[in-house]
Amino acid sequence: MAKHFMAEFKLEAAKLAVDHGYTFVKAAEAVNVSHSALTRWVNKLRLERQSKTPSGLPPDESPENKTGIA
């Protein structure tokens, strides 16, 4: 069964790597998630900050959430 995390948790976890200088591995360990999950969240945060989010998709309907691996 896949774990589901709230959007705020994903954002804060991604900010550890993007804003606070944690490596992806250390940030993932700090919040007890997989490296691949944190990588997706960081990529999404970076795209959002560049205003390059996928158009036409609500935040919870992004392709990574449709796979059930979030």
Q: What is the mean pLDDT of residues 20-29?
A: 96
Residue 34's alpha-carbon distances to 3, 40, 42, 62, in angstroms, are: 11, 10, 12, 19
Q: What is the mean pLDDT of residues 14-29?
A: 96
Helix/strand/coil (H/E/C) assignment for every residue in 7-70: HHHHHHHHHHHHCCCCCHHHHHHHHCCCHHHHHHHHHHHHHHHCCCCCCCCCHHHCHHHHCCCC
Q: What is the mean pLDDT of residues 23-44?
A: 96
* pLDDT: which is higher, 41 or 51: 41
* pLDDT: which is higher, 42 or 69: 42
**pLDDT bracket for residue 51 (50, 70, 90):** confident
- Please give the pLDDT value at position 3: 82
Domain boundaries of the chain, sorted by first residue = 7-66
